[in-house]
């Protein structure tokens, strides 16, 4: 039976986000916060005022995707169901964390926008959502979840960015679960 923290419509999003975070060495709670903030879904295309569109589960902008076309990445592939959009998002998030200026939260918020006014709002939402996801994940590792949607997950990477997190804002900012196992559905 799925716990209240993971409603059925989030199982794929949670599973894909955690697996992608592990693969790309970013904190799972931050990846989950970005996925929650983007709030997309497979096949979703949202038209923006500037003529671009945000595509799929992780709401990739078509202008950004155009630069990735030389690697064979298409908006249609990003819009499709499955974990591809989450993998691409984790790759992009890791690049922001490694290459951008500022603290970890500002870098992670660059996923959404580098424009200061938009970045600040998104950054604050990420801090709040990341703390909530860390709590949820910790409860699951303590065994209180009847279902943990991580069947694709084999291991977790250890992010090297916990020292940059504001300790006073987030209780466990560098949280990385030690082991999450899938419990078969009844």
Per-position DSSP letters for 94-136, written without gaps between them: HHHHHHSSS-HHHHHHTTT--SHHHHHHHHHHHHHHHHHHHHH
- What digits encode the pLDDT tens for the residues 137-171? 888 776 655 444 443 333 333 333 332 333 333 33
Host domain of residue 155: 8-164
Let me know if residue 185 belongs to a domain: no
Let me know if residue 13 belongs to a domain: yes
Let me know if residue 176 belongs to a domain: no
Let me know if residue 175 belongs to a domain: no
Residue 173 has pLDDT above 90, yes or no: no
Residue 24 has pLDDT above 60, yes or no: yes
Arithmetic mean of pLDDT, 26-33:
95
pLDDT value for 165: 36
- 60 forms beta bridges with 55
The contacts of residue 14 (CB under 8 Å, 6+ apart) are 6, 32, 149, 150
Place of tokens 């999450």: 180
Number of domains in the chain: 1
User: For residues 176 and 35, which has the higher predicted lDDT (pLDDT)?
Assistant: 35
Sheet containing 60-61: which strands, arranged edge to edge?
45-47, 53-55, 60-61
Let me know if residue 40 belongs to a domain: yes
pLDDT value for 171: 32
Let me know if residue 170 belongs to a domain: no
Residue 176 has pLDDT above 60, yes or no: no
Let me know if residue 123 belongs to a domain: yes
pLDDT value for 163: 28
Let me know if residue 183 belongs to a domain: no
pLDDT value for 104: 95
Mean pLDDT over all residues of the chain?
78
Arithmetic mean of pLDDT, 124-139:
92
- What digits encode the pLDDT tens for the residues 48-72? 999 999 999 999 999 889 888 888 8
Instruction: Tell me how crowded residue 68 is: count the other CB atoms within 10 A of its CB.
Output: 15
**What is the DSSP code (8-state) at residue 162?**
G
What percent of the chain has a predicted confidence (pLDDT) above 70?
A: 70
């Amino acid at each position: 039976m799925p716990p209240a923290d993971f409603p059925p419509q989030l199982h794929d999003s949670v599973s894909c986000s955690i697996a992608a975070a592990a693969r790309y060495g970013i904190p799972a709670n931050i990846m989950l916060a970005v996925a929650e903030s983007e709030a997309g879904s497979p096949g979703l295309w949202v038209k923006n005022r500037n003529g671009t569109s945000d595509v799929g589960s992780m709401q990739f902008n078509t202008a950004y995707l155009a630069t990735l076309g030389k690697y064979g990445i298409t908006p249609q592939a990003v819009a499709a169901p499955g974990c591809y959009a989450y993998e691409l998002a984790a790759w992009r998030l890791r690049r922001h964390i490694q290459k951008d200026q500022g603290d970890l939260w500002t870098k992670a918020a660059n996923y959404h926008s580098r424009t200061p006014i938009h970045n600040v709002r998104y950054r604050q939402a990420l801090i709040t959502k990341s703390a909530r996801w860390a709590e949820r994940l910790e409860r699951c590792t303590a065994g209180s979840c009847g279902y943990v949607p991580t069947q694709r997950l084999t291991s977790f990477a250890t992010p090297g960015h916990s020292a940059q997190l504001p300790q006073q804002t987030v209780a466990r900012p560098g949280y990385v679960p030690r082991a999450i196992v899938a419990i078969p559905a009844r």
